[in-house]
Amino acid sequence: MLRLRGRSPIPFDLYDPITPLPSIYATRAREELNEVVTEVSSHLERFRLSISSLPHITCPTDDIFLLAFLRYEKYDHANAMKRLENFCAFRSLPGEGKPEWFQYDSLDRDLYKRIGELRYLIPLGSTFDGTSCVLIKAERLNFDVVTFHEVMCTSQIWNDVMLLDPRVQIGGFIFLMDMAGVKLRELQRMSDQQVSEFGCKYFQVS
């Protein structure tokens, strides 16, 4: 089990909008993201108005979705809009990203069962300061059972879940990769420079 500074982590659970967020998130949002509770509604309305003026953008406009972009950019609207445009382009334009990663309806239902049975992705919960942690057991990725493309597609579903979790929006997340027991053949099958480059482009990190 993950332990930091002698404290136990917060156990993993799916976000429940009815349950109030732990106070650590309100503190971090205020101190790190420039979030002022009384101003959030006006920020959201301004952001929606900006989106409505751009016909080339089609996306959800509910609060929790838009807050993912505003919070990441510390309520800088110009940067948040640029991030949103890049996000939409990557998911919809073949020349800009990988739309095929997000065509969930085209996936075989049996795939979810096969992916689940591999048990390679393990949510660890959150650190004492609210950072979500996920462990990937690379040895359990059996590419004779699923393809690398299928893994990338189903991984985006998890990414979407985290995108809409305010705890992740505020506290961030860490992926830990356990490579113990991975054979060279499997490592070569999961090593794809183009996928790595597209991943960085999607998450908009350099």
25-60 pLDDT per residue, tens: 999 999 999 999 999 999 999 999 999 999 999 999
- Where among 92, 122, 138 does a domain terminate? 92
Closest CA to 194 of 149, 162, 159: 149
Confidence at 8, pLDDT banded by 50, 70, 90: low
Closest CA to 150 of 116, 196, 122, 184: 116
pLDDT at 1: 43
- Where among 92, 117, 135 does a domain terminate? 92
Q: How many domains does the chain have?
A: 2
Residues 6 or more apart from 68 whose CB is under 8 A from it? Answer: 163, 164, 169
Mean pLDDT, the chain, rounded, equals 90
Task: Say if residue 167 is in the same domain as residue 116.
Answer: yes
CATH code assigned at 180:
3.40.525.10
Mean pLDDT value of segment 95-101: 92
Orientation angle between helical segments 63-72 and 40-52, nearest 10 degrees: 100
Task: Say if residue 127 is in the same domain as residue 56.
Answer: no
Mean pLDDT value of segment 165-189: 91
**Cα separation, 95 vs 99, whole angstroms:** 9
Asked whether residue 17 is assigned to any structural domain, the reply reads: no
- The lowest-confidence range among 88-92, 162-166, 194-198 is 194-198
CATH code assigned at 60:
1.10.8
**How far apart are the two ends of the chain, measured CA to CA in Å?**
31
Q: Say which residue the tokens 């040895």 belong to.
A: 139
- Where among 65, 92, 119 does a domain terminate? 92
Domain span at residue 53 reads 23-92
Query: What tokens appear for 136 in the block?
Result: 């990937």
Task: Say if residue 126 is in the same domain as residue 88.
Answer: no
> pTM for the whole thing?
0.89
Asked whether residue 32 is assigned to any structural domain, the reply reads: yes
Closest CA to 67 of 89, 91, 92, 39: 39
Task: Say if residue 64 is in the same domain as residue 145.
Answer: no
Strand bridging mode 121-126 / 132-137: antiparallel
Residues 6 or more apart from 144 whose CB is under 8 A from it? Answer: none
Asked if the model's pLDDT at residue 182 lies above 50, the reply is yes
Asked whether residue 171 is assigned to any structural domain, the reply reads: yes
Q: What are phi and psi of 88, to 5 degrees?
A: -65, -40
pLDDT at 170: 98
Asked if the model's pLDDT at residue 99 lies above 70, the reply is yes
**Cα separation, 35 vs 54, whole angstroms:** 25
> What are 113-147's pLDDT values in tens digits?
999 999 999 999 999 899 999 999 999 999 889 98
Task: Say if residue 197 is in the same domain as residue 157.
Answer: yes
Asked whether residue 30 is assigned to any structural domain, the reply reads: yes
